[in-house]
């Protein structure tokens, strides 16, 4: 019989030399998760038509193979968010010439076979590959054959390829099989237990209960595609408008959540209020708004405020999971 310490050492060396447990990942975007960037979609772990993320939630899309790390809109994108190598390795290939544009039927036709948009592919050895999709045209600063270190800048997050919002699609593979970096040890539909994360600092990537990623006031109810393009963010509005809309863009809503939204006038009085129950199984992203119409009169000039509260049943008790406020001047 071999001593236990030798058996332990053998398995340690075997697994690490084979690359099974050796890869540790830095977060691939220079941002603070939950503040200026957000994980909208996780790898889909459900083998069927439903969706299931690593926490058994619905923050995914059918057959989603990568991790989607998004910005609120293009106004944020132009600030320049660096895409970072998740681990050391060698650059295999790049694509750096695809325009940044919102996906539509014409773009789909023009970019067939280039769904990933501008991207970098890195070989980390032992069968590990990472790919960084939807980067900004002309921003990639590495070349094929170049060695990179974990955390090294590769380029900027963009809006290229098959995408309707600015984000980085981070794809991880081991021996040509897709791997969920949040829960690499469990396959199939397993979720929520014995989680084996490959992230160096998993606590810096909190799972979103429900988050407001942007909000503002406007004269009309915005469409999601307009919000993504940075529209409906006025610095002020004229007090002669006939309707005032307060809207919030939310990710992570779940069935059973209760959303409350309010508009206060310049005196602090409630002039519009709405409470809605989330009815669908999951809403990875959506717009929630409320409208106050003035009729034949005018709004009084001054500072108007909007408030949003999301509540969820947690262990049988209604719990506030998100609060958000914004304001605008009518002049």
Mean pLDDT of the chain: 89
pLDDT (mean) for 86-96:
98
Listed range (21-35, 65-79, 154-168, 174-188) with the worst mean pLDDT = 174-188
**What residue spans define the domains of the chain?**
23-204, 211-330
What pLDDT does 107 receive?
83
Sequence-ordered list of residues with C-beta below 8 angstroms from that of 159, at least 6 positions apart, any chain: 74, 77, 100, 101, 102, 134, 136, 165, 166
What pLDDT does 170 receive?
98
pLDDT of 310 > 90? The answer is: yes
Q: Which CATH number fits domain 23-204: 3.20.20.30, 2.70.70.10, 3.40.50.300, 1.10.3090.10?
A: 2.70.70.10
Element (H, E) at 43: none
Q: With H, G, I as helix, E, B as strand and everything else as coil, classify residue 39.
A: strand
Nearest-angstrom CA–CA distance, 26 and 201: 7
The DSSP annotation for 65-76 comes to -SEEEE-SSHHH
211-330 placed in CATH 2.70.50.60:
yes
pLDDT of 11 > 80? The answer is: no
Q: 261: closest CA among 296, 311, 196, 330?
A: 311
Give the distance between the most distant pair of CA atoms in the chain.
92
What pLDDT does 286 receive?
83
Spatial contact of 122 and 148, defined as CB atoms under 8 Å apart = yes
Which tens digit of pLDDT belongs to each residue from 179-228?
999 998 654 557 877 788 999 999 999 998 788 999 999 999 999 889 99
Q: 45: closest CA among 21, 67, 63?
A: 63
pLDDT of 57 > 90? The answer is: no
Nearest-angstrom CA–CA distance, 218 and 234: 7
């Amino acid at each position: 019989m071999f001593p236990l310490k030798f058996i332990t050492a053998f398995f340690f060396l075997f697994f690490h030399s084979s690359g099974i447990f050796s890869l540790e990942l830095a977060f691939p975007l220079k941002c603070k998760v939950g503040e200026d960037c957000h994980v909208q979609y996780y790898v889909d772990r459900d083998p069927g038509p439903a969706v299931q993320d690593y926490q058994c939630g619905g923050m995914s899309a059918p057959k989603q193979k990568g991790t989607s790390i998004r910005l609120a809109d293009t106004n944020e994108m132009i600030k320049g968010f660096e895409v970072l190598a998740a681990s050391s390795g060698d650059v295999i290939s790049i694509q750096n010439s695809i325009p940044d544009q919102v996906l539509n039927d014409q773009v789909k036709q023009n970019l067939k076979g280039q769904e990933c948009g501008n991207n970098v592919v890195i070989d980390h050895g032992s069968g590990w590959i990472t790919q960084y999709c939807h980067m900004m045209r002309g921003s990639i600063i590495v070349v094929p054959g170049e060695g990179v270190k974990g955390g090294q800048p590769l380029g900027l997050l963009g809006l290229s390829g098959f995408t309707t919002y600015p984000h980085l699609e981070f794809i991880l593979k081991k021996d040509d099989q897709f791997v969920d970096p949040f829960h690499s040890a469990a396959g199939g539909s397993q979720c929520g237990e014995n989680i084996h994360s490959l992230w160096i600092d998993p606590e810096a990537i909190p799972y979103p209960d429900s988050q407001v990623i942007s909000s503002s006031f406007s004269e009309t109810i915005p469409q999601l595609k307009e919000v993504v393009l940075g529209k409906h963010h006025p610095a002020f509005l004229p007090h002669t408008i006939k309707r005032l809309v307060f809207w919030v863009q939310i990710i992570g809503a779940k069935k059973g959540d209760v959303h409350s939204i309010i508009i206060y006038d310049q005196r602090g009085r409630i002039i519009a209020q709405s409470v809605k129950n989330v009815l669908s199984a999951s809403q990875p992203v959506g717009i929630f708004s409320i409208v106050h119409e003035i009729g034949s009169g005018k709004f009084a000039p001054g500072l108007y405020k909007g408030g949003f509260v999301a509540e969820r049943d947690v262990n049988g008790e209604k719990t506030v999971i998100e609060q958000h406020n914004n304001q605008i001047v009518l002049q």
